[in-house]
Structure 1
Amino acid sequence: MSTEVADTTPVIIGVGQYSERVGEPGYAALSYMDLAGRALAEAIADSGASGDVAGAIETLAAIRAFEMSRPDRTPPFGAADNVPRAIARRVGANPARAILTTTGGQTNQQLVGEFAQAIAGGASQCAVIVGSEAISTVLALSAKGEAPDWSEDVPGDVEDQGFGVEELLEPALMAHGAIGAIPLYALAENARRHRLGLGLEEYRREIGKLFAPFTKVAAANPHSAAPVERTAEELATVTDRNRIVAEPYPRMTVARDQVNQAAAVIVASAGLARELGVPQDKWVHIHAVTAATELKLSQRPDLAGNPASLASVDAALARAGKSIADISYIDFYSCFAIPVFNQCDHFGLSADDPRGLTLTGGLPFFGGAGNNYSAHAIAEAVERVRADRGSFALVGANGGWMSKYATGIYSTEPADWSANDRFAVLPKPSGAVPLCAEPVPSAVVETYTINHTAKGAEAIFLGRCDAGERVVGNADLSDPATAAAFNSGEPFGQRLTLTQDERGRTVGRLA
């Protein structure tokens, strides 16, 4: 086979994962850098190389940890001033190019495509993607009043790509209390629920049916943050422990950020893999990677839809010459139910598809390892296709509020990169719905959520004014009729009379 695969063909030669759970045997309260370093060491060992893989790394991209992902966030225990080089030196690497990536869960999957393209074009021979989260340890130590110093001074050049959150900002929604992923996804989820004509409890059962098989995978995964198998009924039933965080989501069905997890992926040219003595049964070929960007949530014509993610998967399958039926192993990004539901709706897949829809156990159960979750999914995909030679795996990686998506397709079957056309960035969708620039007297509700925080319940809605433009507002839950409509789960199509409060927010009451 060695003569059949061109030296410039990009292949994944090693993957690694590392994790720890608070209080369990061997728990060491590792920092972000230490977790990432151990995952990279695992990936180097996984390659089975006889040569010096660490010394061959030319590019190392460090995925931003959540606590480094926004300008207003600072890691509470500090962090390295040069994150990629801090990770590199833990394995004795000294890459020519050190990158701190932008924010987004699609980033690692997209970088596989970018680095593969660079290798196929002869501009690189070996690149690493690595990231980590230590949120569980941060919370555990902070609760005990401990504050270790995780800061490091690391010399060397670094390419800081910035936070990259501009396309994720939704100023109007955030001004009305939709801060963070949970209420933003809940708005889209309720739009889908309305389209299907399902009540709240019925829809929660559908989420439970979707995610119950995920918990079974998570329970068997040694890296899971919550390795407990649960029934669909248990996931769907609202209790004190499984409270509503934002309608329609019970707590157990949203991404779990309290994790200590790291993962790394090494991509190299086939020529270098041969030089390093990487056995060919370790090589995994990259058949396609596509990346897509969606309209902002408040601009989407269909608030339940995510056409960019569907286009990304469709394009990757097409370039790989495969249909979804040809894929043996699937990991759809599952921070919430709707990114998975959207793919299922598109491809006609059921929650009990015998292949499963996750390789890790999913973000609510395996753990939502920040921007780096899909590196774990890629690692699992690589392991699956190595063990089932000739099979194909698909990883769908999501960023923001279904804002960005990247898809990768993997197999031990060789992929011809001679035309270097297996990585594609798709055009952004058109047809954005404009926001009302000025206050309007009324709007019709398209979707909503009731967000539950320490300050109480707050109803957020998206609607249309008579001119067809989008309106963002808060429903006045102090008004009995309005509260009844929203608490019932069926405010869709209701006309609200709008006013502006003292903070300039739009407030709606049932007309």
Structure 2
Amino acid sequence: MTEAPDNTPVVIGVGQYSERVGEPGYEALSYMDLGGRALAEAISDCAAEGSVAQAIDTLAAIRAFEMSRPDRAPPFGGSNNVPRSFAKRVGADPERAILSTTGGQYNQKLVGEFAQDIAEGRSECAAIVGSEAISTVLALSAKGEKPDWLEEVEGSLEDRGYGLEGMLEPALFAHGATGAIPLYAIAENARRANLGKGLEEYRRDIGELFEPFTKVAAANPHAAAPKERSAEELATITERNRIVAEPYPRMTVARDQVNQAAAIIIASTAKARELGVPEEKWVHIHAVTSAVELELSARPDLSANPASIASVERALGIAGKSMDEMAYLDFYSCFAIPVFNQCDHFGLSPDDPRGLTLTGGLPFFGGAGNNYSAHAICEAVERVRADLGSFALVGANGGWMSKYATGIYSTQTADWSQQRVAELPKADDAVVRGAAPFDSATIESYTINHTKKGRDAVFIGRNDAGERVVGNADLSHELTRKIFEGGEPFGARLSVKRDDRGRNIGQVA
């Protein structure tokens, strides 16, 4: 490690905290308590002589899932000022308290923002904290218990809003693609169509991708589902591993029932020295890039996510490194396709000896809401500290491959006299989407989404004018049902009518 200028930003502490329902020591902690524990762990990890808590001038809270849409609220209540609730638990009183927008990319993006603030003298020590207690909420609700998690904390708050722009597509929502699972499934099936693979073969591909992830999760004390599973087990449809949306079996989608929290502390080298943080704790931030994707139905290739590729490539370019020089990798893995996209582009294999996850991945470690990648960053920091001079890359994803942020970390000194944070421009090649009623459509991709209310076959295709359109396949029509259930509706032409709810309902002509 070479001498770094006083305004060089470094990660000085990371912390994770978790609990599993019913296990020894389980306390049924609230969101705020979990986050406070993680922040305390991060402060302890600094091994400082001075008070890190009192040095924190900026603290950002990652918006919990149950606070991520204006029509939802935590069932047991929450804090009026989440970042200050976290701060209060460790004796911190930051000048700035920030509540993030929605999106799994945002914690990674904040690392870049706060590093830039430190490099340019606007901050000396900043923390990022996020937590999820969804598993506890469900467990207590099932027993009819309703603890009071309301908190009132005084102090300023910079609420950055929900940040849902570009993620809520009314046409898809109106036809039953109302959340991440069916929307990712549509993109996944588009990739399957491009590869010319059937459902069973493709599910096997997903199983082979994720089998190594389960091994990492099984060894991670913070994992929500720490159990090794074979590719065959992940790919085989059973009552327990039922289809949630074609082509996804339940075990291969992000697990949101977790109680997990993570925290990251960044400081200038001057502040780190003042606090007495040992240099062996310092981890340099070599690049942070972010990018925004087109809305799903506007993407030229429904299976592709060029914004994520551009983010990773730009980060590698800023760091002056290649993918081969990354010793440690964590690609956001809420579903298979965000990982497949990176593998396809960079020529990576599911059995890459480095592994493609540091935590165990969202289906097995747990999909800690918008905060998953903070856990990946914590793991990356630990890895490079133990392997001096090595580099780690973390790719963080938000929405339905809607936003992406990449970070590169190492104990090697990063030169912050050059620009190390970049926001990439949004693509301008959106496909024209049809707004008027249409009589026919040719299928590009689809999913059959399974819910408690039944099944919806949702398709994206083109009308006769070549515009993108959305609709439902009529599964009561025998030929249509057979083609969709068989997994090969790609290129099929549907005749389309509107029902009394305004939905486009298609049958194979």
Is TM-score (shorter-chain normalized) higher than 0.5? yes
- Identify the residue that residue 492 of structure 1 maps to in structure 2: 490
Partner SS, residue 166 of structure 1: coil
Q: Distance in 2 between matches of 1:366 and 1:430?
A: 36
In the TM superposition, residue 443 of structure 1 has moved relative to its aligned partner by: 0.9
- Identify the residue that residue 248 of structure 1 maps to in structure 2: 247
In the TM superposition, residue 167 of structure 1 has moved relative to its aligned partner by: 1.7
Partner SS, residue 314 of structure 1: helix
Q: Distance in 2 between matches of 1:153 and 1:90?
A: 13
- Identify the residue that residue 501 of structure 1 maps to in structure 2: 499
Deviation per CA, 1:276-302: give whole Å up to 9, x if none: 000000000000000000000010000
- Identify the residue that residue 235 of structure 1 maps to in structure 2: 234
Deviation per CA, 1:244-272: give whole Å up to 9, x if none: 00000000000000000000000100110
Q: TM-score, normalised by structure 1?
A: 0.99
- Identify the residue that residue 46 of structure 2 maps to in structure 1: 47
Kindly provide the amino acid, as one letter, of the partner of residue 284 in structure 1.
Answer: V
Asked if 1:460 corresponds to 2:458, the answer is yes
Q: Distance in 1 between matches of 2:50 and 2:107?
A: 26
- Identify the residue that residue 174 of structure 2 maps to in structure 1: 175
Q: Distance in 1 between matches of 2:197 and 2:5?
A: 53
More off after superposition, 375-384 vs 463-472: 463-472
Matches within 5 A, 1:70-219: 70-219=69-218
Q: Which 4+ residue blocks in structure 1 deviate beyond 3 angstroms?
A: none
Q: Distance in 2 between matches of 1:312 and 1:164?
A: 19
Q: Distance in 1 between matches of 2:149 and 2:432?
A: 45
CA RMSD in angstroms, aligned pairs only? 0.6
- Identify the residue that residue 408 of structure 2 maps to in structure 1: 409
Deviation per CA, 1:78-107: give whole Å up to 9, x if none: 001111101100000000000011000000
Asked if 1:317 corresponds to 2:302, the answer is no
In the TM superposition, residue 466 of structure 1 has moved relative to its aligned partner by: 1.9
In the TM superposition, residue 467 of structure 1 has moved relative to its aligned partner by: 1.5
Q: Distance in 2 between matches of 1:437 and 1:223?
A: 47
Matches within 5 A, 1:3-42: 4-42=3-41
Kindly provide the amino acid, as one letter, of the partner of residue 147 in structure 2.
Answer: P
- Identify the residue that residue 358 of structure 1 maps to in structure 2: 357
- Identify the residue that residue 423 of structure 2 maps to in structure 1: 425
Q: Distance in 1 between matches of 2:81 and 2:112?
A: 24
Partner SS, residue 257 of structure 2: coil
Deviation per CA, 1:389-447: give whole Å up to 9, x if none: 0000000000000000000000000000013x100000001111121110111110000
Q: Distance in 1 between matches of 2:434 and 2:4?
A: 56
Q: How many residues align?
A: 509
Q: Distance in 2 between matches of 1:81 and 1:119?
A: 28
Kindly provide the amino acid, as one letter, of the partner of residue 461 in structure 1.
Answer: F
Asked if 1:470 corresponds to 2:440, the answer is no
Partner SS, residue 459 of structure 1: strand
Q: TM-score, normalised by structure 2?
A: 1.00
- Identify the residue that residue 447 of structure 2 maps to in structure 1: 449
Q: Distance in 2 between matches of 1:280 and 1:430?
A: 45
More off after superposition, 159-168 vs 390-399: 159-168
- Identify the residue that residue 337 of structure 1 maps to in structure 2: 336
Deviation per CA, 1:292-313: give whole Å up to 9, x if none: 0000001000000000000000
Q: Distance in 2 between matches of 1:418 and 1:316?
A: 16
Kindly provide the amino acid, as one letter, of the partner of residue 355 in structure 1.
Answer: R
More off after superposition, 203-212 vs 436-445: 436-445
Q: Distance in 2 between matches of 1:214 and 1:155?
A: 42
Q: Distance in 1 between matches of 2:412 and 2:253?
A: 36
Q: Distance in 2 between matches of 1:248 and 1:418?
A: 47
Q: Distance in 1 between matches of 2:428 and 2:395?
A: 22
Partner SS, residue 167 of structure 1: coil
In the TM superposition, residue 275 of structure 1 has moved relative to its aligned partner by: 0.3
In the alignment, structure 2 segments of 5+ residues that lack a partner are: none
Q: Distance in 2 between matches of 1:216 and 1:197?
A: 30
More off after superposition, 434-443 vs 72-81: 434-443
Q: Distance in 2 between matches of 1:110 and 1:473?
A: 35
Kindly provide the amino acid, as one letter, of the partner of residue 199 in structure 1.
Answer: G
Kindly provide the amino acid, as one letter, of the partner of residue 332 in structure 1.
Answer: F
Kindly provide the amino acid, as one letter, of the partner of residue 179 in structure 2.
Answer: G
Identity of matched residues, %: 75
In the alignment, structure 1 segments of 5+ residues that lack a partner are: none
